[in-house]
Homo-oligomer: A and B are copies of this chain.
Amino acid sequence: MSAVLAPRNYAPIPQHLPARTVAVAAGDGIGPEITAAVLGVLAEADPALSFQQVTVGLKAYESGATAGFGPEALDAVAAHGVILKGPVTTPSGGGYKSVNVSFRKLLGLYANVRPSISYHPFVPAMHPQMDVVVVRENEEDTYAGIEHRQTDEVVQCLKLVTRPGCERICRYAFEYARTHGRRKVTCMTKSNIMKLTDGLFQQVFEETARDYPEIVAEHMIIDIGTARMASRPGDFDVVVTPNLYGDILSDVAAEVSGSIGLAGSANIGRDCAMFEAVHGSAPDIAGRDIANPSGLLLAAVMMLRHLGRHAPATLIHNAWLRTLEDGVHTGDIFRAGISKRRVGTQGFAYAVIERLGLRPRHFAEASSGQSSPALPAAANSAPVRPQAKTLVGVDVFLHWDEQGRDPAALGRQLATLRTAGLGFELITNRGVKVYPGGCPQTLRSDHWRCRFSGADVDRCEIPELLGLLAAAGFDVVKTENLYAFDGEPGFSRAQGA
């Protein structure tokens, strides 16, 4: 069935849409051709939109911009508030930073938003009924890149979680759910193990949920949640997670949806946002007019909604669904029996343009909804109430590889060192208490956490204690102060026997 279509069968674009310019980067590989296809659709559906082309990717890298773009690109994004970005190739070899990481860090793009939707039966899917949006925190967690090697045996990475960071992402997830008519937000963490960091994320999630009584809020442990995403993604609607878990979970969701090649994504910040396809630059098929422009087109639909331009967003989204239903398919999703007409990149864009104004018949029609929230100001600026912070000790980490690594030998030496307020308490190795007490089977590395504690410690005592340790010949490699906040201990207890 090939629909007979009038060249302009859609209602005139509402004239009240204000003129707006967006930054556009064509990117590398198939980037230029899919970008041209998408801009063609945008020009038809939203004529008040104009584009400022910026250089991002290989050309920028080759001209010496290690971030993959120069200051003029950054200025354009800052000026216009959004960028639609084609896929980029990061050159291998040292010194080149990925464009995405650079934009994310520089512009504070704290939310990565990835819808994973199955388009059964037109695209094979493991789960025919799937429509999940993963909202991933994008700046914190172990991805802050703070790593130190401090002994022969031990390296360390810091996992940092901030209350404002948790508030911002949880608020965004609920605002997204509300404005997109979604009914449930699931938070996934490992708060049963990481009680302070993931516990904070979960706590902020639950606090935030109270402001959205119409939306179901639930928490799941990430291992069970990811497994459930793999087997029953229909259980989920919107999911919000810390950075690392979200990285894994969003890939699992995309994979089981079957439509990763058709998926768009957004990186949202307070002042700026970036929209792109999930797929890469596919240099092997570049310039052949065979790439599927759907991922970037759906990213453009997300961008229009983010900008509050719902009429053209809805027009394009419905036309795209109808194109899929009509069996007008690029080679990547062409299957005999389902597909009707094989088209190239530009041909697919023309097919979408032809269908502007038509509605899908199989899939649910895209509704015009509300704007995806740029960000409610309240979420961004809620000040954290300062609490009374009391210094109650310090964890001193030693590089120590003497006396057969006997914790008792170390403990006896440390017990002789003290300041007015700080006295030796215990030793752990890889998180397991080894002195006093301990178990001979516990593996001991050359990295010892030695806790000194007291009731009322002056902050000047810590340099004093470190001076005593240095004078006694100990190799202190790091310290972590112990505080109580409003009387509540702000540190985990030592585990083990």
Q: Could you tell me the distance in whole angstroms from the C-beta of A287 to the nearest C-beta in chain B?
A: 26
How many chain copies does the complex carry?
Answer: 2
Stretch from A2-10, A27-35, A249-257, A318-326 at the B interface? A249-257
From B197, B254, B271, B475, contact of A441 by CB (8 A): B271
Question: Is A154 positioned at the interface, with any CB of B under 8 Å from its CB?
Answer: yes
Complex contact A439–B106 (CB within 8 A): yes
Complex contact A106–B496 (CB within 8 A): yes
Q: Which chain A residues (141-157) contact chain B, with CB distance < 8 Å?
A: 142-157
Q: Could you tell me the distance in whole angstroms from the C-beta of A196 to the nearest C-beta in chain B?
A: 4
Complex contact A460–B449 (CB within 8 A): no
Question: Is A476 positioned at the interface, with any CB of B under 8 Å from its CB?
Answer: yes
Majority secondary structure, A binding face:
mixed
Neighbouring B residues of A445 by C-beta, 8 Å: 162, 164-165
Complex contact A149–B485 (CB within 8 A): yes
Q: Which residue of B lies closest to A110 (CB)?
A: B443
Neighbouring B residues of A459 by C-beta, 8 Å: 470, 475-476
Q: Which residue of B lies closest to A233 (CB)?
A: B230
Q: Could you tell me the distance in whole angstroms from the C-beta of A108 to the nearest C-beta in chain B?
A: 5
Q: Could you tell me the distance in whole angstroms from the C-beta of A165 to the nearest C-beta in chain B?
A: 7
Complex contact B256–A430 (CB within 8 A): no
Complex contact B197–A223 (CB within 8 A): no
Neighbouring B residues of A164 by C-beta, 8 Å: 153, 443, 445
Known pairs A158-B159, A231-B256, A245-B248 / 8 extra A-B pairs, C-beta < 8 Å: A146-B395, A155-B490, A165-B430, A223-B248, A460-B471, A462-B470, A477-B480, A478-B478
* Chain A to chain B contacts (Cβ below 8 Å), 20 pairs: A67-B497, A101-B495, A106-B442, A107-B441, A144-B432, A146-B449, A150-B483, A152-B386, A156-B158, A156-B197, A156-B480, A162-B430, A165-B445, A223-B247, A230-B256, A248-B248, A252-B252, A384-B446, A459-B475, A467-B467
Interface residues of A (CB under 8 A from B): 67, 78, 97, 101, 105-108, 110, 126, 139-140, 142-165, 190, 193-197, 200, 222-224, 226-231, 244-245, 247-248, 250-252, 254-256, 269-272, 384-387, 389, 395, 399, 401, 428, 430-432, 439, 441-443, 445-447, 449, 459-460, 462-464, 466-467, 470-471, 475-483, 485, 490-492, 495-497
